[in-house]
Homo-oligomer: A and B are copies of this chain.
């Protein structure tokens, strides 16, 4: 059965039933149909947040074999409910664009899914659309001001860094020349579109404390320079009020359910390379306010997602997880061990052993945060006993709790062992995480600490441009922002071909970007695609809807 067939085989409970499990009154819900609802921000209770048990799910370095971080998160959440822990799984919202490129949704898989999965993967409650509009209103205001004879604030059109965005895999929009057509069309300039998940609005919405803070963060976005070289912020264009109004509903977390009818909150979906790669602070706090356990995940491997989750999001929100689940698969480790994608179903303990250093590196990186770690082996039918034994032996030898999880095939009951080990870890955790760097460190020091402690790199090498920018940002007073390194997810290094555990490498920072609204500096290591394209045969070609509204070919 496909994910879509499994998801469609289960009749979702009315969302008010899910809400009642969390003691939310019906009149506090803003319904979106009978299976989705927005939650008002006043359900957040800071005392419960502080007493809650936050569990972060992260992973080894991603491979084409798939690791199943979201599937594990959902399975673990359901399993914690099985063992009597009141739990909410808190996830990111999927991006629409990729749905029409490569088949596959982003709402879990098999029997560990959140539903309604079609809606969640399409428009959901419109959050991405609202972010897009706020982003693009700011862009329109910039070009409109450049065009104005009487109200110009002197923006140099060559310096505009603010791009438009669209939640669509559309390479044709990556780089454009806009405002053509003569005087009435505006002042022509080079620009482009990001996919919506890569918009700074997405990042700042996920980092804001409340509506006021959201408005202020919108105002603080750095968009361009004047002809005199002074920075221009969104607030100089009086844009933040209208942007916040466009985001008044998008700021509210969304309640849905797992296939097993347990509550899940899905909210926000920033990229994990050029942004923090995790759901909103408000959603995490909402989950902690409404339950005893929150299971959440962060994008890509622990070098990107977990590092940013902790050093950026948790630090800003004064949150600290009590356990970190590191997801690995035997298939993916064999891939890291040098096998190609077609060979992964053959037993190969040698390849597994060769791939193990990737897992080891992620474990040692995570240990630097001084949090309990549980390794979760996401089981595949091709895994052999010898392979499993090898991996278990390694973990036991190193004193790391490990569990096989069968979330995909069995849902929550396939993750009970994992849940018990996670609960034990949580109960044993008595301290907050140790950040990798201090905010008072200078920007270069912050980067070096991340690259050495988390990636295992030697040095950080800055291009001339990056050096110039670093000085500029420090002179502008942004030296105390956290850093959000944009790096390939496919390797711990900045070279996507280096699998396993790369050693003796440097990280090369080509340039910086700065997200003064969201509040971080982005050192860019390599080329990061902010607007993906479609493959030669996009999955859109196979999607059909019949007269009953039944969809095929979507997932």
Contact = CB atoms under 8 A, between A and B. Distances in A.
Interface string A123-136: 10010011011001
A212 B547 contact: yes
Interface in A89-139: 96, 100, 118, 122-123, 126, 129-130, 132-133, 136-137, 139
Given A96-B133, A122-B245, A178-B176, A141 B171 contact: no
A469 interface: no
B100 A137 contact: yes
A220 to B, nearest CB: 16
A158 interface: no
A281 interface: no
A165 to B, nearest CB: 10
Contact of A133 (B168, B171, B185): B168
Interface residues on A, range: 35 or more
A545 B171 contact: no
Chain A interface main SS type: mixed
A16 to B, nearest CB: 11
Copy tally for this chain in the complex stands at 2
A420 interface: no
Contact of A123 (B122, B130, B538): B130
Interface stretch (A29-37, A72-80, A375-383, A432-440): A29-37
A172 B151 contact: no
A185 B174 contact: yes
Contact of A148 (B174, B212, B536): B536
A417 interface: no
Contacts of A150: 536
A154 interface: no
The residue in A148, A190, A538, A553 that gathers the most chain B C-beta atoms within 10 A of its C-beta is: A538
Contact of A140 (B38, B169, B544, B545): B169
Given A175-B181, A533-B144, A545 B123 contact: no
A387 to B, nearest CB: 37
Contact of A554 (B32, B118, B245, B549): B245
Contacts of A164: 173
Contact of A540 (B34, B123, B143, B239): B239
B171 A147 contact: yes
Interface string A301-322: 0000000000000000000000
Contact of A170 (B129, B143, B244): B143
A38 B239 CA distance: 32
Contacts of A9: none
15 contacts: A27-B34, A123-B129, A123-B130, A123-B133, A139-B170, A151-B537, A164-B173, A172-B186, A173-B178, A176-B178, A212-B547, A239-B541, A241-B542, A242-B541, A245-B554
Interface of A: 27, 30-34, 38, 96, 100, 118, 122-123, 126, 129-130, 132-133, 136-137, 139-141, 143-144, 147-151, 164, 166-181, 184-186, 190, 210-212, 215, 237-239, 241-242, 244-246, 248-249, 533-534, 536-538, 540-545, 547, 549, 551, 553-554
